Every structure is written in structure tokens, then in C-alpha cells.
Amino acid sequence: MDDLDKRIDGILADVVEWRHDLHAHPELAFEERRTATFIAERLASFGLEVQTGLAGTGVVGVLRNGNGPAIGMRADIDALPIVEATGLPYASKHAGRMHACGHDGHTAMLLGAARILAEGTAPRGTFVFIFQPAEESEGGGRVMVEQGLFTRFPVDAVYGAHNWPGLPCGHFAVHTGPVMAAFDIFEAIIEGKGSHGAMPHQGIDPITIGAQLQTAWQTIVSRAVNPTDPAVISVTQVHAGDAWNVIPDKLVLRGTVRSFDPKLRDLLEAKMTQRAEMICAAFDARCRFTYTRRYPATINSATEAETARRAAARVAGQEHVVTDRPPSMAAEDFAFMLEQKPGAYIWMGNGPDDDGRNLHSPHYDFNDAVLPHGIRYWVRLAETTSVEAAA
């Protein structure tokens, strides 16, 4: 056991307690006031410079230790609107809110690393600990950037991490290039003409048109997109009608689109818009189609991905660092930070994802066995960047 392992063992009980406390008190996007106070108080107790209020509930801690690289290390802090079903003693105390994605664990690990680095073992450089609100669909990363995150806290590179069910605990996955997909949403309001269900010829059936449109959108992916380019179009909501025997006059389709390539993203939007308008016109209906870009793709820069890989290898051994795992079609607003600065976003193994314990499940719980691996990764990353800058 080396000195870092001993130091982590010395604080691990506190880190587990922090994680359980955060899990029991989940807060939704931009409402993380208790969480922000919890983080700020601990960062201040470690002797760090602390700034609050960025993106409303964001917290930034800064550790300066002479000349050297400046790097950002980011954890997300928000919860999800899910009713928890774990039955844990530290389960959510707030009905309808739950840490079902592990942000409680991400926060606790980064706090643990900040404490270790602040206790006199930090390498040369400036280390910016970014605790970001509203990752879950609300774009807190974008807001932090827009409000001057990297102007107020300049960094050479920025790094993020997420726990990953299905990847063994103690293992890491590091990608060069795309890690997570761009996240877009759409809505099509098809306006037809209502009629009696027994007399469809007297109306314009928006349900039939909606079925045609859903099929036409899917053939964008299967026939207009290169099969080697990942793309997903998913209709996730269908709203129409109130009676058994009435064809409604309106139908609403909503859903999400995922891609990695910016040019493909443009193509998907253009084709979806075109087909919505033309198919509805062919059936004498009107269509109001809106397409909204939420998060860009999360794309690691090659140099920083290699730095992250080396740091992970120092933690787990190279044999436990995967570099060829396919990227995910899920999305991450850390992408907004990577649009501004070079950096890397990695996955930390959270263990099996059986029994419904996958991300965003009401049965999910962050694996406490991951905590020491995560703390060790952040500390080794700080050391690795400092050594590489001095080389």
C-alpha cells in the first residue's frame, strides 16, 4: 500500500458519509442549494478558494501550488425526478427526486480528491474543482461557460468522469474522439380535420399521417445516412384523441435525435423538417415542426485523452483501462466545456448493471467501492498533468 492509498483509507469513511448524505437529499436542476452549501463548506474547510453562484448553484474551488499547468476537474451535482425504489437506509428523503445517475458519487469523489491534494500533496500547478449543476437535460455546463467559467478560472484543459454500470469496478474506459452523442429534441404538431371514426372520408386523419411520418423519419437513418455513421431518431411521445369513435383533428409527436458528426446533425434536422412538411402537405394537413439542439457531442481531444489514459493506468493498471469501447448515444453537457477547452471525459466502472441497477433506474445506487478508485484517479490526473507539463 503506497502513501496515497493510506491517505485515501484515512478519509474514506468521511467520503462515504458525504455520498450517503447527498444521496438522501437529492435536488433537481438549478435547485441544488443545499448541495451547493454542502460542497462549499467542505472546500473551504480544506483551505481552498471557493466561489459560489456560477449558474446559480454551481461551486468552484481553486487550489494553487506554484507555477505549473492549470486544469479543471468537473463533477455534476443534480438529481433526477424519479421515485426511488432502492429501500436503502440513506434513500431519498424527498419524494419524486433521486440520485439515479451517480452524481452524488461524482461529487463525493471530487471532494475527496480536493481534500487529498489540499493536504500538502498537490503537485505544481493550479487545480480548479468544478461542481456543476443541472447536467440532466438542462444544460448547466452551457450556463457555467456562458457566465464566464473559463474567464474567471482559466485552465489549460478540463476533465470529467462518469460512473458506468456494466464496466467492472476498478476498470476505466477512455475514448479518443467521440464519447457521448449530441442531444436534440423535436416536436411535430400535425393539424388535420376531425371526423366520426366511422366516416374517415369526411376528415383528415392526423394519426395516419403521424404513422407515415414516423416511418419516413426512420428511413432517414436506414436509407439517407451512411451505415457507418451512428444516428438515432426516436419518437418518444404520441398525443392525440379522447374518444373511441372520434378521429381527432390534431396529433403531437415528440422525441429525441442523437448523432456524433456535426454535418450529420445538420442532415438529420434538414431531412426531418422536409419530410414533416411534405408528408403533411401530401395528405392536406398542416405541420408545425420544431427542432431544438440541446447538447453538442462530447468529443475528447487526443492529447488529453492520452493524459487521462495514463492517469487511469496508474490507478488500475493498463490491463484494466479499455480504449476501444464504443461511444454511447446518451448525451452529456460536459460537451459545452470541451467546446471551449481541450479535455477528456472518461468512464469509471460501477460494476454489474443487472437487477435494473442501470443509470436512471429507480433501483440504481452508486457503488461505494468505486469511491477510492475515483479519488485516486483525480489525484493521479493532477500529478500526471504536472509531470507532463514539466517534461
Delimit the domains of the chain by residue range.
Answer: 3-181+297-390, 182-295
CATH code 3.30.70.360 for 182-295:
yes
Instruction: Give, in words, the CATH class of 3-181+297-390.
Output: alpha beta
Q: How many CB atoms lie within 10 A of CB 168?
A: 14
Burial 195-210 (b: 16+ CB within 10 A, else e): beeeeeeebbbbbbbb
315 near 377, Cβ under 8 Å? yes
Return the beta strands (E) in 116-210 as ranges: 125-132, 157-164, 172-173, 177-180, 182-191, 195-196
Determine the Cα–Cα distance for residues 169 and 287; give it in Å rounded to an integer: 49
Determine the Cα–Cα distance for residues 225 and 191; give it in Å rounded to an integer: 29
Put simply, whether the predicted model's pTM sits higher than 0.85 gets the answer yes
Give residue 199's Cα distance to chain centre: 49
Q: Which amino acid would we find at residue 110?
A: L
Q: Each residue's pLDDT tens digit in the chain (391 positions)?
A: 589 999 999 999 999 999 999 999 999 999 999 999 999 999 999 999 999 999 999 999 999 999 999 999 999 999 999 999 999 999 999 999 999 999 999 999 999 999 999 997 789 999 999 999 999 989 999 999 999 999 999 999 999 999 999 999 999 999 999 999 999 999 999 999 999 999 999 999 999 999 999 999 999 999 999 999 999 999 999 999 999 999 999 999 999 999 999 999 999 999 999 999 999 999 999 999 999 999 999 999 999 999 999 999 999 999 999 999 999 999 999 999 999 999 999 999 999 988 777 999 999 999 999 999 999 999 999 999 988 777 6
